[in-house]
């Protein structure tokens, strides 16, 4: 049974035979990790795993929501009377948050909606299922109510909802990649100015694989905030020493080398070193990819992981096990992607060897960690949008 038939069958009380369908992808970041809140450049791409919404109009002004992935939670009903965050609303807070934000941008509700959401992204895996859901809701509300808002404005709105309504203090990378991506490209984004360049993701003989550690990311949020604070401390110290910068990524590695001794605390100095060197690596990596120099691109991906592991300290045994195993079996570049502390690894491996390599990495991971990792070949995707039944 295909997705369409299954969703309609399971939700026959909510959906008729002709729902509007929307899709928002997940994302992986190729390089440029933890720099989006330091004014740096990131290089993510949207992926074919993501979140779907099946939507029909209601005759009243209520919103009835079901998640196919969390059917046990049951139907959530949202009305415009109570749009503040409510714990018991569970995943539907992403809906109430986006609705509230768009109402303040002139969204006029003419009818209610039945919405069934279905996700193919593994949850809490660092592939941005939250940002995917936010942008999904953004595009569906824009379409249903003919809201005059640009895709970039939806991206900024989603970030605002994530930061202020959901309460996660992330940077703009995920929402931007999910909103603005183009199939077959990665986005080279300057997170300070939001200027960007779509770079063809041409990998020649190589395939990009995503491997999910399946580790529960328990401490991710507090550690993420701790890193942000450490970066702010580093920025303050450098500015007190005369750097005169708004963001750490305004410094390159050479400029930092001259100033680094001003940071006496070894931990803060290593955090800043990661940010500054990652900024340089990202620029070099994009140049390497553009000139089809995949070996250099892979080397920089490897260096990025080592820096995230040793200096930024956001990796973990599970991520390192996958990275080491991929490298041992011939990957030319493997690194953790996203915030870290669990989640996913990306690896560039030779296409003709890919099944062989994946099997070896799978066994090694299972033997060392005691449970399975999941593997996905990575296909790029267009950003969040309305789709047809045939595109499912
Ligand atoms: C998470 C955040 C992003 C970014 C990455 C690390 O995915 O949501 O904004 O900071 O971590 O690069």
Residue 258, number of CB atoms within 10 A of its CB: 10
Q: How far is the CA of 173 from the centre of ligand 1 (A)?
A: 6
CB < 8 Å & 24+ apart, contacts of 224-230: 224/169, 224/170, 224/339, 225/169, 227/34, 227/271, 227/312, 227/314, 228/37, 228/169, 230/267, 230/268, 230/271
Task: Please indicate whether residue 171, judged by its CB atom, sits closer than 6 Å to ligand 1.
Answer: yes
Give percent of the chain with pLDDT exceeding 70: 99
Residue 217 has pLDDT above 90, yes or no: no
52-83 pLDDT tens trace: 999 999 999 999 999 999 999 999 999 999 99
81 is a catalytic site residue = no
Rounded Cα–Cα distance for residues 59 and 306 (Å): 56
Residue 372, number of CB atoms within 10 A of its CB: 12
Question: Residue 126 in contact with residue 118, Cβ under 8 Å?
Answer: no
Task: Please indicate whether residue 227, judged by its CB atom, sits closer than 6 Å to ligand 1.
Answer: no
Task: Please indicate whether residue 309, judged by its CB atom, sits closer than 6 Å to ligand 1.
Answer: no
Q: How far is the CA of 174 from the centre of ligand 1 (A)?
A: 7
241-251 pLDDT tens trace: 999 999 999 99
Task: Please indicate whether residue 173, judged by its CB atom, sits closer than 6 Å to ligand 1.
Answer: yes
User: Which ligand 1 atom is at minimum distance from the Cα of 35?
Assistant: 12
Q: What is the average pLDDT across 329-355? A: 97
Task: Please indicate whether residue 316, judged by its CB atom, sits closer than 6 Å to ligand 1.
Answer: no
Confidence tier at 16 by pLDDT (50, 70, 90)? confident
Mapped onto helix, strand or coil, the DSSP state of residue 197 is strand
Q: How far is the CA of 294 from the centre of ligand 1 (A)?
A: 25
Task: Please indicate whether residue 34, judged by its CB atom, sits closer than 6 Å to ligand 1.
Answer: yes
Beta sheet of 20-29, edge-to-edge order: 76-78, 63-67, 112-119, 44-58, 20-29, 385-387
Question: Residue 119 in contact with residue 95, Cβ under 8 Å?
Answer: no
Q: Whose CA is nearest to atom 11 of ligand 1?
A: 339
User: Which ligand 1 atom is at minimum distance from the Cα of 37?
Assistant: 10
Rounded Cα–Cα distance for residues 235 and 257 (Å): 14
| Paired strand residues for 297 | none
User: Which ligand 1 atom is at minimum distance from the Cα of 162?
Assistant: 8
Q: How far is the CA of 200 from the centre of ligand 1 (A)?
A: 22
Rounded Cα–Cα distance for residues 60 and 62 (Å): 6
Question: Residue 252 in contact with residue 280, Cβ under 8 Å?
Answer: yes
141-150 pLDDT tens trace: 999 999 999 9
The pLDDT assigned to 262 comes to 98
Confidence tier at 124 by pLDDT (50, 70, 90)? confident
Q: Which residue has the tokens 């992981």?
A: 305
Residue 182 has pLDDT above 90, yes or no: yes
The pLDDT assigned to 219 comes to 64
In 316-363, the DSSP E strands lie at 333-337, 344-350
Q: What is the average pLDDT across 339-349? A: 97
276-323 pLDDT tens trace: 999 999 999 999 999 999 999 999 999 999 999 999 999 999 999 999
Task: Please indicate whether residue 44, judged by its CB atom, sits closer than 6 Å to ligand 1.
Answer: no
The pLDDT assigned to 17 comes to 84
The pLDDT assigned to 216 comes to 80
Q: What is the average pLDDT across 272-277? A: 98
Q: What is the enclosing helix (H) or strand (E) of 113? A: strand 112-119
Question: Residue 322 in contact with residue 361, Cβ under 8 Å?
Answer: yes
Q: How far is the CA of 170 from the centre of ligand 1 (A)?
A: 6
Q: Mean pLDDT across the chain, nearest whole number?
A: 96
Q: Which residues contact 369 (CB under 8 A, 6 or more apart)?
A: 213, 317, 318, 321
Active-site residue (options: 36, 174, 280, 311): 174
């Amino acid at each position: 049974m295909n997705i369409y038939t299954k969703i309609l069958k399971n939700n026959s009380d909510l959906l008729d035979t002709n729902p509007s369908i929307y899709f928002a992808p997940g994302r992986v970041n190729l390089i440029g990790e933890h720099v989006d809140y330091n004014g740096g450049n990131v290089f993510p791409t949207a992926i074919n795993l993501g979140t779907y919404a099946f939507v029909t109009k209601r005759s009243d002004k209520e919103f009835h929501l079901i998640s196919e992935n969390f059917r046990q939670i049951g139907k959530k009903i949202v009305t415009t009377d109570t749009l503040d965050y409510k714990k018991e609303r569970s995943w539907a807070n992403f809906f109430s948050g986006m609705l509230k934000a768009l109402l303040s941008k002139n969204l006029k509700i003419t009818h209610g909606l039945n919405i069934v959401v279905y996700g193919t992204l593994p949850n809490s895996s660092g592939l941005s299922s939250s940002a995917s859901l936010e942008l999904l809701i953004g595009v569906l509300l824009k379409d249903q109510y003919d809201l005059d808002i640009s895709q970039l404005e939806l991206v900024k709105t989603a970030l605002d909802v994530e930061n202020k309504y959901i309460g996660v203090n992330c940077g703009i990378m995920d929402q931007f990649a999910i909103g603005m991506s183009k199939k077959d490209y990665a986005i080279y984004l300057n997170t300070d100015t939001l200027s960007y360049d779509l770079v063809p993701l041409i990998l020649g003989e190589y395939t990009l694989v995503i491997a999910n550690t399946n580790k529960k990311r328990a401490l991710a949020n507090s550690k993420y905030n701790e890193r942000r604070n450490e970066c702010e401390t580093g920025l303050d110290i450098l500015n007190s020493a005369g750097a005169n910068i708004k963001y750490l990524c305004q410094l390159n590695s050479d400029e930092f080398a001259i100033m680094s001794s001003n940071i006496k605390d070894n931990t803060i100095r290593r955090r800043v070193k990661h940010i500054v060197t990652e900024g340089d690596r990202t620029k070099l990596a994009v140049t390497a990819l553009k000139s089809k120099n995949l070996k250099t691109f892979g080397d920089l991906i490897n260096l990025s992981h080592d820096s995230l592991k040793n200096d930024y300290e956001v990796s973990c045994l599970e991520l390192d096990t996958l990275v080491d195993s991929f490298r041992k079996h011939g990957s030319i570049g493997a690194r953790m992607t996203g915030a870290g502390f669990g989640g996913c690894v990306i690896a560039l491996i030779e296409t003709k060897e890919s099944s062989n390599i994946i099997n070896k990495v799978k066994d090694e991971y299972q033997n060392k960690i005691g449970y399975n990792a999941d593997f996905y070949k990575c296909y790029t995707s267009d950003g969040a949008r309305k789709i047809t039944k045939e595109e499912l």
